[in-house]
Amino acid sequence: MIKVKLVSYTSDGERVVAIASKMSRSRKGWEYHEKEMSQEEIETWISEAYRHGYLSPFEHSVYTFSIEGISRVASHQIVRHRIASYTQMSHRFARPQDSYYSPIVPPSSVKQGEIVNEAYTRAYQYYLDLLNKGIPEEDARYVLPNGVNTNLVVTMNARELLNFFALRLCSRAQWEIRYVAWKMWGEVRKVHPRLFRNAGPQCILYENFVRQKPITVEDKGESFVSERCIEGVPREGIWKCIENGQRIVEVLESGSQLALHEGRVED
């Protein structure tokens, strides 16, 4: 099972972001604002910075996640987000052997489990055979499948997380990275609800740049101002699309044998 955990973060990140935002418009320094800023002001300066798209202050709050049990397919997608720091398990120094070889089976392939498992078993045997013949680990790993399991540590600032969520919470995102993104979203919302109140898939992000009052993923009664989302989903179908995207968490954590295809969960 994929595990996503927030292991470290800027504990006073909301205050830091608010002070940074205010300092850009004030002649007074950090010590003054740190002493004088109230909780109400923190709320105001975070909200105003977000509403005006002034997101550089968000870069001062940083979050580190442990992500375990994902495939190399998913990890390759995650590291495309360049404004971040990564440390990944090395299959050169940490051989994926015995119980540590547990490649990921896509939910859409559950009904074809025999074929997938056979492919994984053969690849594993080839890998062991190469090692036994003296091929070095860094070369033997070439035959491992893209689905081989891996772990990584990821550090992103709040601004990059807003961008990451916009792209990867979307129902059009691949199922595995979408699950990771929704879990990361849940983790940061627990510790910094004011910073990530309006975080969501890109339909939410871009909607909030054109409306007077921002909306959240929970505001399902609200009508969208935009005629369609950036992926082309019409206004009346956006909330359903968001629900389909978020449902990946329920699907994987329930162990239900459901198939996923292009963002839709099907029996």
Q: Give me the active site residues, please.
A: 168
- Strands across the sheet containing 3-9: 3-9, 62-71, 149-157, 85-88
Judged on CB neighbours under 10 Å (0-12, 13-18, 19+), 173 is buried
Residues 152/87, Cβ–Cβ less than 8 Å: yes
Per the DSSP assignment, residues forming a β-bridge with 86 are 154
Residues 157/192, Cβ–Cβ less than 8 Å: no
CA–CA dist 186, 243 (Å, integer): 15
Residues 105/116, Cβ–Cβ less than 8 Å: yes
Per the DSSP assignment, residues forming a β-bridge with 8 are 64
Judged on CB neighbours under 10 Å (0-12, 13-18, 19+), 143 is middle
Instruction: Report residue 112 as tokens.
Output: 């074809």
CA–CA dist 173, 258 (Å, integer): 17
Residue 60 DSSP SS3: helix
DSSP characters over 221-239 = TSPPSSSB-TT--BGGGHH
